[in-house]
């Protein structure tokens, strides 16, 4: 046979044995290196398992610590044995005990026989490596790493810091350009022999002994010195999570793996019985899907990384509770808030629904109860109309409402008469489109017919609340989109501002307002405001409302266009 | 965290450990098959009382999920639950007649058992009406989840307790032993949970769901806590504080991401509202063994549920874990 395997194994040896037997049966020789720290019992079971196969050999067991030279030494020693025992091999492939062949073994043989002098090893210059997650990249080569990262983390860190402080830099062996890549390679015999037997091997080994994670850079760098044709890709499919640890494949990844163009995949969960059964079966179909589907694999795992690092904005749940400033958005979708509009117009929510097709709730934060759209007693996600329940955690209520109705633009009414606790959340939410007609609270008071001194007191309270809300909207840490008009300003040109508001809600579509909403009666407003002033209050938020005389062409009446 | 508060919490943890030792003496062993527990076994710990109809499904559900052994405390059952469990090959059973309340609702007994048998194992602590759902649970057994948590360096998995209820009053449809309770209690509230953080222990405090909506709408602060951390890689030093709502050392409670991302989390489907519920509520009021003198059960009893039960027209019907994940009740985190 033309291809041999070096297998590094330390855990789940029964699976390693299964793979070894499978490959051996297909005629491929193997040398297995089992970590010396694995139990004797497990080793003996493995040895017994592969005994019937003459082409399975064992290398001397050594202790292999992650990220150290011992792994490279083990693969070199095992590769030596393989090359010496089988002179007809023209390729050697390095796999682990948790790798799984996802193609028929002879497919690999056929493939490699047409690429006799090509080395398949991911080999990327350190400047171009995008994947070192938190791990050092060029410092792997410029600093020395005598301590194992997993076992002596503190020493490791201290030594790195010391070197950085002293500015110490190691000198590279002549002609060596540091490269990095996946440690699961498939090298041609010629290249491998040169690496193992070259006169410079001691010098290079001495350098790489102090490099961090040399199994990702030793062969990858040397292949550039000794290799003739290098294809910088690994034949083993391996995906990494946001911590740089390999993703594990399970039974439900079966179809995904069938789509991959790779010959092996790692890591496989030892309990994935279906995967082992299907891929080690002789009946495994030879046809594979096109490489277009391989992008599907990348997408699946890329989504996992995004989910872990960015989460879903606007969602707070058992696994996600972002600190202030890290939310990526306080709510999950844009929405609109209208303050003062229901005081100025009659049936404003209905009009908005007709004009834009979206549903407008009433006063969601009204004191007595939540006024959902259509006067319902609850809403999406089983939100309750109970005001006490809502006020217990008003930001959560708002967040839940927006989250539960994603895809359906939400708007609601707000007013100084409502509970103001949600004001800060609204102001800080970049998804909030807030439109305010300040001073509009004067209109219901105008029509209430109550005595002046009572009205004056209420007006003062409402104005104070509205002023506080407006201050939040103007604050430096406000993120919302706020448009504020005084009552006087709004009444001068109501149509334009309404069109503006409707446009911001509809999104891509633009609805031209055909029928404007009906204004409430404004008669006596200017006098009313003057009365308030006379009583000692200053209704400044309403602006300068002009006297309604003469009635023929009142400035704020809507002219039909 | 200051040195003083760190010390205080350590003292508190020791207190709970000592309590566990003391309360452990109230347990008398009925069947101890712990010798058969292998090194990588996932273990389940529970306290039961008169749950005989529910036990067959409970055991099957978790066995199918890959739980290797059950450690159960029977608190004076009179319906044959204990006899039934004593005969099961993967169950180790203890019995006690002492007060459920005085063992802090079983927490002390289970802390004791976890101290003795749980060290170095992934342990799942649940009530007999709680059913764990985690991402990919339909294709991956719980040992796969635990291996992945080990690999990722995580020691615990957070969950949301999701109350499941039927359409209509709970006693309308009779539950047959061995039946999947979620064929009857198939509905849940999809998005009305309020989350805040407990400053002392660092765990998330979640309230909401149907019980808050129906029974505690006017006193929302009394609504039950729905945050649970049932799955933990146990160490002798650990204790659960107050059911499985939080743990000490408090680092274990950080099962959530604080920087805007999401950590993997699951759900505990709560099959409480079945036909046995009204009768149980009445019984528990009489026993006065529950939290805050059974205030919760008082609420259930006094308010009743009305003709629709807990169901409302915005209730969601349960399909599978993917639905829960899409709704935002659980998360895949970094798992794919």
Task: Kindly list the distances between the CA atom of residue A441 and the CA atoms of A142, A434, A486, A534, B159, in Å, as whole numbers in the listed order.
Answer: 70, 17, 11, 18, 45
Omega prior to A90 cis, within 30 of 0? no
pLDDT for A265: 96
| Contact between chains at B336 and A247 (C-beta distance less than 8 A) | yes
For the four alpha carbons of A64, A70, A72 and A76, in that order, the dihedral sign comes to negative
The yes-or-no verdict on residue A369 having pLDDT over 50 is yes
User: B308 contacts in A (CB within 8 Å)?
Assistant: none
Asked if A369 and A387 count as a contact pair (C-beta separation under 8 A), the reply is: yes
Q: What residues contact B261, with CB distance under 8 A and at least 6 apart?
A: A307, A308, A309, A310, A311, A320
Task: Kindly list the distances between the CA atom of residue A274 and the CA atoms of A261, B42, B63, in Å, as whole numbers in the listed order.
Answer: 20, 21, 19
How buried is B144 (Cβ within 10 angstroms: 0-12 exposed, 13-18 middle, 19+ buried)? buried
Share of chain A above pLDDT 70, in %: 93
pLDDT in tens, A253-266: 999 998 888 999 99
Q: Predicted confidence band at A554 (pLDDT cuts at 50, 70, 90)?
A: very low
- For chain B, 336 residues long, the average pLDDT of each consecutive 10-residue run is 88 96 94 95 96 96 98 95 95 94 91 97 97 97 97 96 91 90 96 96 96 93 96 97 94 96 97 83 71 60 69 95 97 94
pLDDT for A160: 85
SS3 A169: coil
Task: Kindly list the distances between the CA atom of residue B212 and the CA atoms of A13, A435, B131, B246, B292, in Å, as whole numbers in the listed order.
Answer: 52, 33, 21, 20, 16
Helical ranges in A244-393 per DSSP H:
254-258, 273-279, 294-309, 341-344, 348-356, 387-392
- Mean pLDDT for the stretch of residues A180-195: 93
Q: Predicted confidence band at A371 (pLDDT cuts at 50, 70, 90)?
A: very high
pLDDT for B295: 59
pLDDT for A552: 45
Structure tokens at A236: 């083993």
SS3 A414: strand
Distance CA A80, CA A33 (A): 12
The yes-or-no verdict on residue A550 having pLDDT over 50 is no
Asked if A437 and A485 count as a contact pair (C-beta separation under 8 A), the reply is: yes
Nearest to A250 among B140, B190, B227 (CB): B140
SS3 A324: coil
pLDDT in tens, A495-547: 888 888 887 776 545 566 677 888 888 888 888 888 888 888 888 888 888 76
CB contacts under 8 A, A 322-341 vs B, are 322-323, 326-328
Asked if A186 and A94 count as a contact pair (C-beta separation under 8 A), the reply is: yes
pLDDT for A110: 92
| Contact between chains at B213 and A384 (C-beta distance less than 8 A) | yes
pLDDT in tens, A431-467: 999 999 999 999 999 888 888 888 989 999 999 999 9
Report yes or no: A66 at the B interface, CB cutoff 8 Å. Answer: no
Distance CA A271, CA A269 (A): 5
pLDDT in tens, A219-230: 999 999 998 899
DSSP 8-state symbol, A505 = H
- Mean pLDDT for the stretch of residues A372-383: 94
Distance CA B106, CA B290 (A): 11
* CA-wise closest residue to B204 among B260, B149, B268, B256: B256
Asked if A67 and A46 count as a contact pair (C-beta separation under 8 A), the reply is: no
* Shortest alpha-carbon distance between residue B261 and chain A (Å): 4
Q: For tokens 């393989």, name the residue.
A: A82
Distance, C-alpha A498 to centroid of its chain:
38
pLDDT for A131: 65
The yes-or-no verdict on residue A328 having pLDDT over 80 is yes
**Size of the A and B interface in Cβ pairs below 8 Å:** 180
pLDDT for A283: 79
Poorest-pLDDT segment among A39-53, A151-165, A205-219, A258-272: A151-165
**pTM score, whole prediction:** 0.91
SS3 A348: helix
Distance CA B184, CA A19 (A): 46
SS3 A497: helix
pLDDT for A561: 45
Q: What residues contact A290, with CB distance under 8 A and at least 6 apart?
A: none
pLDDT for A288: 61
User: B213 contacts in A (CB within 8 Å)?
Assistant: 382, 384, 386, 389
SS3 A22: helix
pLDDT for A278: 95
| Contact between chains at A319 and B263 (C-beta distance less than 8 A) | yes
| Contact between chains at A307 and B332 (C-beta distance less than 8 A) | yes
pLDDT in tens, A86-128: 999 999 999 999 999 999 988 999 999 999 899 999 998 877 7
- Put residue A311 in one of left, alpha, beta given phi > 0 → left and psi -120 to 50 → alpha: left
How buried is A509 (Cβ within 10 angstroms: 0-12 exposed, 13-18 middle, 19+ buried)? exposed
User: A315 contacts in B (CB within 8 Å)?
Assistant: 262, 328
* Shortest alpha-carbon distance between residue A151 and chain B (Å): 15
Between residues B288 and A206, which one has the greater pLDDT? A206
Structure tokens at A214: 């040399």
ipTM above 0.90, yes or no: yes
* Shortest alpha-carbon distance between residue B25 and chain A (Å): 35
Omega prior to B249 cis, within 30 of 0? yes
Asked if A464 and A477 count as a contact pair (C-beta separation under 8 A), the reply is: no
Q: What residues contact A301, with CB distance under 8 A and at least 6 apart?
A: A239, A240, A241, A247, B336
pLDDT for A289: 57
| Contact between chains at A304 and B219 (C-beta distance less than 8 A) | no
* CA-wise closest residue to B48 among B151, B168, B128: B128
* CA-wise closest residue to A32 among A52, A2, A62: A62
| Contact between chains at A389 and B217 (C-beta distance less than 8 A) | yes
Asked if B252 and B114 count as a contact pair (C-beta separation under 8 A), the reply is: no
Report yes or no: A476 at the B interface, CB cutoff 8 Å. Answer: no
Structure tokens at B175: 């539950």
Distance CA A180, CA A129 (A): 7
Task: Kindly list the distances between the CA atom of residue A94 and the CA atoms of A30, A79, A235, A237, B25, in Å, as whole numbers in the listed order.
Answer: 10, 9, 10, 13, 56
pLDDT for A155: 86
Task: Kindly list the distances between the CA atom of residue A53 and the CA atoms of A25, A81, A100, B148, in Å, as whole numbers in the listed order.
Answer: 7, 17, 19, 33
* CA-wise closest residue to B47 among B127, B121, B162, B104: B127
| Contact between chains at A318 and B158 (C-beta distance less than 8 A) | yes
Poorest-pLDDT segment among A63-72, A405-414, B43-52, B166-175: B166-175
The yes-or-no verdict on residue A134 having pLDDT over 60 is no
Distance CA B263, CA B271 (A): 26
Asked if A27 and A53 count as a contact pair (C-beta separation under 8 A), the reply is: no
For B190, the closest chain A residue by CA position comes to A381
Distance, C-alpha A175 to centroid of its chain:
41
pLDDT for A383: 96
- Mean pLDDT for the stretch of residues A342-364: 88
Asked if A304 and A241 count as a contact pair (C-beta separation under 8 A), the reply is: yes
| Contact between chains at A242 and B334 (C-beta distance less than 8 A) | yes
Asked if A60 and A86 count as a contact pair (C-beta separation under 8 A), the reply is: no
Q: From the CB of residue B278, how many other CB atoms can be counted at a distance below 10 Å? A: 17
Integer Rg of chain B from CA: 19
User: A300 contacts in B (CB within 8 Å)?
Assistant: 336
pLDDT for A559: 45
Phi, psi of A338 (to 5 degrees): -120, 115
Nearest to B220 among A245, A315, A389 (CB): A389
Q: What residues contact A109, with CB distance under 8 A and at least 6 apart?
A: A1, A2, A3, A28
DSSP-assigned letters across all residues of B177-210: TTS-GGGTS-EE-SS-EEEEE-TTT--EEEEEHH
Distance CA B16, CA A98 (A): 42
Distance CA A370, CA A378 (A): 9
């Amino acid at each position: 046979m033309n291809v041999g395997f070096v297998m590094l194994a330390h855990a789940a040896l029964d699976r390693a044995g299964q793979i070894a037997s499978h490959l051996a049966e297909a005629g491929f020789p193997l040398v297995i290196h089992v970590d010396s720290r694995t139990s004797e019992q497990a080793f003996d079971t493995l040895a017994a398992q592969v005994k019937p196969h003459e082409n399975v050999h064992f290398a001397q067991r050594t202790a292999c610590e992650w990220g150290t030279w011992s792994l490279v030494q083990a693969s070199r020693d095992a590769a030596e044995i393989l090359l010496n025992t089988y002179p007809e091999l023209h390729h050697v492939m390095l796999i682990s005990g948790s790798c799984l062949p996802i193609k028929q073994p002879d497919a690999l043989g056929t493939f490699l026989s047409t690429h006799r002098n090509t080395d398949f090893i991911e080999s990327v210059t350190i400047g171009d490596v995008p994947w070192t997650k938190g791990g050092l990249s060029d410092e792997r080569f410029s600093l020395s790493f005598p301590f194992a990262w997993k076992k002596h983390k503190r020493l490791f860190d201290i030594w790195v810091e010391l070197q950085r402080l002293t500015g110490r830099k190691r000198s590279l062996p002549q002609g060596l350009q540091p490269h990095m890549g996946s440690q699961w390679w498939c090298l041609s015999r010629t290249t491998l022999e040169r690496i193992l037997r070259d006169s410079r091997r001691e010098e290079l080994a001495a350098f790489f002994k102090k490099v961090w994670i040399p199994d990702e850079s030793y062969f990858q760098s040397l292949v550039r010195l000794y290799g003739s044709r290098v294809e910088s890709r690994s034949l083993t499919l391996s995906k990494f999570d946001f911590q740089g640890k390999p993703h594990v494949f399970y039974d439900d990844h079966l179809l995904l793996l069938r789509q991959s163009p790779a010959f092996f995949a790692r890591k496989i969960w030892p309990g994935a019985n279906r995967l082992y059964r299907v891929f080690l079966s002789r009946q495994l179909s030879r046809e594979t899907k096109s490489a277009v589907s391989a992008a599907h694999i990348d997408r699946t795992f890329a989504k996992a990384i995004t989910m872990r690092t960015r989460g879903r904005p606007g969602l707070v749940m058992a696994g996600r509770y972002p600190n202030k400033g890290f939310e990526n958005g306080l709510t999950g979708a844009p929405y609109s808030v209208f303050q003062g509009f229901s005081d100025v117009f009659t049936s404003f929510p209905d009009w908005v629904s007709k004009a834009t097709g979206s549903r407008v709730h009433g006063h969601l934060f009204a004191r007595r109860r939540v006024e959902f759209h259509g006067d319902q007693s609850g809403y999406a996600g089983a939100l309750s109309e109970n005001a006490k329940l809502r006020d217990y955690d008003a930001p959560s209520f708002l967040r839940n409402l927006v989250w539960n109705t994603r895809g359906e633009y939400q708007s609601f009414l707000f007013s100084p008469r409502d509970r103001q606790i949600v004001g800060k959340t609204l102001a800080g939410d970049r998804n909030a489109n807030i439109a305010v007609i300040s001073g509009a609270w004067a209109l219901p008071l105008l029509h209430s017919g109550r005595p002046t001194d009572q009205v004056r007191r209420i007006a003062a309270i409402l104005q104070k609340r509205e002023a506080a809300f407006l201050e939040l909207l103007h604050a430096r840490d406000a993120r919302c989109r706020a448009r504020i008009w005084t009552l006087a300003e709004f009444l001068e040109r109501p149509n334009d501002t309404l069109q503006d508001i409707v446009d911001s809600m509809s999104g891509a579509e633009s609805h031209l307002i055909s029928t404007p909403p009906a204004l409430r009666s404004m008669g006596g407003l200017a006098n009313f405001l003057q009365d308030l002033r006379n009583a000692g209050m200053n209704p400044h938020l309403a602006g300068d409302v002009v006297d309604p005389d003469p009635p023929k062409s009142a400035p704020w009446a809507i002219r039909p266009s | 965290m200051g040195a003083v508060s760190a010390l205080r919490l350590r003292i508190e943890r020791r207190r709970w450990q000592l309590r566990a030792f003391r309360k452990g003496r109230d347990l008398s062993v009925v069947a101890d098959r712990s010798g058969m527990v292998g090194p990588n076994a996932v273990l389940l710990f529970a306290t039961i009382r008169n749950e005989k109809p529910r036990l067959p499904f409970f055991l099957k559900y978790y066995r199918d999920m890959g739980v290797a052994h059950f450690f159960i405390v029977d608190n004076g059952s009179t319906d044959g639950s204990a006899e039934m469990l004593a005969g099961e090959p993967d169950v180790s059973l203890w019995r006690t007649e002492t007060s459920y309340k005085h063992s802090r609702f079983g927490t002390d007994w289970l802390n004791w058992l976890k101290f003795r048998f749980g060290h170095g194992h992934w342990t799942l602590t649940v009530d007999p009406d709680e059913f764990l759902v985690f991402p990919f649970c339909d294709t991956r057994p719980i040992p796969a989840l635990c291996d992945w948590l080990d690999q990722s360096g995580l020691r615990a998995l957070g969950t949301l307790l999701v109350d499941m209820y039927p359409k209509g009053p709970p006693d309308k449809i009779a539950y047959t032993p061995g039946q999947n309770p979620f064929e009857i209690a198939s509905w849940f509230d999809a998005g009305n949970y309020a989350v805040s953080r407990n400053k002392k222990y660092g765990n998330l405090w979640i309230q909401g769901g149907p019980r808050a909506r129906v029974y505690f709408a006017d006193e929302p602060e009394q609504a039950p806590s729905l945050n649970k951390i049932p799955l933990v890689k146990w160490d002798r030093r650990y204790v659960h504080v107050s059911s499985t709502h939080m743990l000490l050392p408090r680092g274990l409670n950080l099962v959530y991401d604080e920087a805007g991302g999401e950590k993997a989390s699951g759900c505990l489907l709560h099959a409480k509202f079945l036909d046995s519920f009204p009768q149980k509520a009445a019984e528990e009021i009489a026993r006065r063994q529950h939290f805050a003198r059974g205030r919760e059960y008082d609420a259930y009893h006094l308010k009743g549920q009305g003709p629709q039960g807990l169901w409302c027209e915005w209730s969601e019907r349960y399909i599978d874990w993917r639905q829960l994940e899409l709704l935002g009740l659980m998360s895949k985190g970094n798992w794919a």
